[in-house]
């Protein structure tokens, strides 16, 4: 094999020896039987000389593989992979066009609370790809550092509404089925690719600076405002802090089913019916998921060990919204959570929590507290300026903790190693700096 497995939390996922630039996924899906027949066309560029290429694909049967640009390809299905072998060496830098026909009954990967990927609902489908669920429905290079553009073509019975990431460019109605075509032009990590299928109605939501909509069952429309009434304001607020919303539109899907947690996808968030009540515990999640469009989806970690760059930031955005919306200010939230965290076991490394603890709530809260400590150290003005330039400099790319620390030092003109080190690489909870004499709040941000 010439594949290069990435080190890190999921060494069985993804391959560094090539990049996929574009996925064209065509799925014909039957909701009742959960049967899919699919064709994936992948535009690939070799990063090194290749005799073989390893794609991630789980639980689906490949019926045909064609590769334009190289003859004599054989393929073999492994438990988690589809391995293609070339008749001659594919040179580094060479482009290939892979066409893969496959079919079967897609199912989530993993078990219990670790399930990810394709999931049947009572009457429809959701896809929750984080962290390694993408191979449950399409062959891919499943590492977050390989962002690509996508086209989706989904054919389902016309009684259902099908969504995917990006802009709806066509919906063609046949005798009994409808084909939905979506184009995702901004680069996207595999785990953020999604399909949502249900008996849904689209509700246009006015008041935001980009098209915003809710896609949900009719019977839930009257409850939508309970948690989401201020979401347009949130988007305007986050744009003021972090710069333009990075995608053409934002859609919230509310499933008929209850869900344990909301899910983020690029340009989209998915909430269960159980989240349609007011109160801070739900409203904070609305802010959290929306903020992932900047922190996670536009700026995506290169390696899962840096998960705090998504979850710490999204948690801090909850506190910023709390302050903006007239609820408790961010400093009060931060000190409450600091006190709670101080009472929990301190055996977690924020800068490298490990695959079992990467979604531990302490990562979220400690990450947000680090951002608050940074804000108190450099001052409000410098803090919001550096966040904004962090986003603009790295939009649609991949980021690391080292890049963030270097960015903060360059932007603030001071060494911040003594601030970052104990929060990121120590286990004990560092003290929060005291409040500056005249806090400006996010209102003072440009």
Q: Pick from 191, 126, 121, 136: which is nearest to 358 by CA?
A: 191
- Least distance CB 311 / Zn ion (angstroms): 5
x-or-dash pattern for Zn ion, window 168-207, by CB under 5 A? ----------------------------------------
125/358 with CB nearer Zn ion: 358
User: What does residue 330 show for φ and ψ, rounded to 5 degrees?
Assistant: -60, -35
Q: Pick from 27, 199, 195, 180: which is nearest to 104 by CA?
A: 27
Return all residues near 15 (Cβ < 8 A) that are at least 6 apart: 3, 4, 5, 6, 53, 54, 55, 141, 143
How many residues bind to Zn ion according to rule CB under 5 A? 2
Q: Which residues of 315-348 are buried (b: 16+ CB within 10 A; e: fewer)?
A: bbbbbbbbbbeeeebbbebbeebbeebeeeeeeb
Strands across the sheet with 18-30, in order? Answer: 61-68, 95-104, 35-46, 18-30, 148-157, 177-188, 167-173
17/297 with CB nearer Zn ion: 297
- Least distance CB 367 / Zn ion (angstroms): 10
Task: Give yes or no for residue 263 binding Zn ion (CB under 5 A).
Answer: no
- Least distance CB 320 / Zn ion (angstroms): 15
- Least distance CB 314 / Zn ion (angstroms): 4
- Least distance CB 346 / Zn ion (angstroms): 22
The partner residues of 120 in beta bridges, in order of sequence, read 125
- Least distance CB 365 / Zn ion (angstroms): 12
- Give the footprint of Zn ion on residues 24-43 (CB under 5 A): none
363/405 with CB nearer Zn ion: 363
Residue, CB closest to Zn ion: 314
- Least distance CB 328 / Zn ion (angstroms): 20
- Give the footprint of Zn ion on residues 269-328 (CB under 5 A): 311, 314
Alpha carbon of residue 285 to chain centroid: 15
311/331 with CB nearer Zn ion: 311
Asked if residue 131 has a cis previous peptide bond (ω within 30° of 0), the answer is yes
- Give the footprint of Zn ion on residues 132-171 (CB under 5 A): none
- C-alpha–C-alpha distance, residues 339 and 360, integer Å: 17
141/293 with CB nearer Zn ion: 293
60/314 with CB nearer Zn ion: 314
CB atoms within 10 A of CB 115: 15
155/297 with CB nearer Zn ion: 297
Q: Name the residues that contact Zn ion, by CB under 5 A.
A: 311, 314
């Amino acid at each position: 094999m010439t594949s290069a497995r990435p080190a890190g939390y999921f060494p069985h996922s993804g391959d560094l020896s090539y990049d996929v630039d574009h996925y064209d996924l065509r799925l014909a899906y039957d909701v009742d039987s959960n049967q899919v027949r699919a064709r994936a066309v992948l535009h690939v560029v070799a990063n090194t000389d290749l005799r073989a290429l390893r794609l991630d694909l789980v639980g689906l049967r490949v019926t045909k593989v064609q590769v334009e640009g190289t003859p004599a390809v054989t393929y073999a299905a492994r438990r988690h992979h589809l391995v293609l072998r070339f008749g001659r060496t594919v040179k580094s830098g060479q482009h290939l066009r892979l066409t893969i026909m496959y079919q079967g009954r897609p199912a989530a990967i993993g078990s219990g609370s670790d399930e990810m990927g394709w999931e049947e609902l009572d009457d429809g489908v959701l896809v929750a790809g984080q962290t390694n669920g993408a191979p449950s429905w399409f062959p891919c290079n499943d590492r977050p550092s390989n962002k690509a553009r996508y086209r989706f073509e989904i054919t389902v019975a016309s009684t259902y509404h099908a969504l995917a990431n990006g802009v709806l460019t066509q919906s063609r109605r046949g005798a009994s089925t409808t084909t939905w075509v979506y184009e995702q032009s901004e680069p996207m990590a595999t785990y953020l690719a999604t399909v949502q299928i249900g008996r849904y109605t689209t509700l246009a939501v006015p008041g935001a600076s980009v098209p915003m909509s809710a896609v949900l069952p009719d019977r839930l429309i009257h409850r939508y405002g309970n948690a989401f009434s201020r979401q347009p304001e949130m988007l305007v607020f986050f744009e003021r802090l972090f710069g333009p919303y990075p995608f053409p539109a934002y859609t919230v899907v509310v499933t008929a089913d209850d869900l344990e947690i909301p899910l983020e996808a690029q340009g989209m968030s998915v909430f269960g019916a159980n989240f349609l009540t007011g109160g801070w515990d739900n409203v904070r999640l609305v802010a959290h998921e929306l903020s992932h469009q900047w922190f996670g989806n536009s700026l995506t970690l290169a390696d899962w060990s840096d998960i705090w760059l998504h979850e710490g930031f999204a948690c801090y955005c909850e506190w910023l919204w709390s302050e903006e919306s007239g609820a408790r200010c961010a400093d009060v939230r931060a000190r409450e959570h600091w006190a709670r965290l101080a009472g929990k076991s301190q055996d977690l490394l924020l800068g490298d929590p490990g695959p079992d603890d990467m979604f531990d709530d302490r990562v979220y809260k400690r990450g947000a507290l680090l951002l608050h400590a940074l804000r108190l150290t450099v001052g409000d003005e410098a803090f919001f300026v550096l966040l904004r330039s962090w986003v603009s400099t790295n939009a649609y790319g991949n980021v690391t903790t080292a890049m963030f620390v270097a960015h903060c030092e360059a932007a603030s003109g001071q060494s911040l190693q003594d601030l970052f080190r104990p929060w990121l690489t120590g286990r004990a909870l560092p003290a929060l700096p005291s409040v500056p004499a005249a806090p400006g709040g996010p209102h003072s941000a440009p």
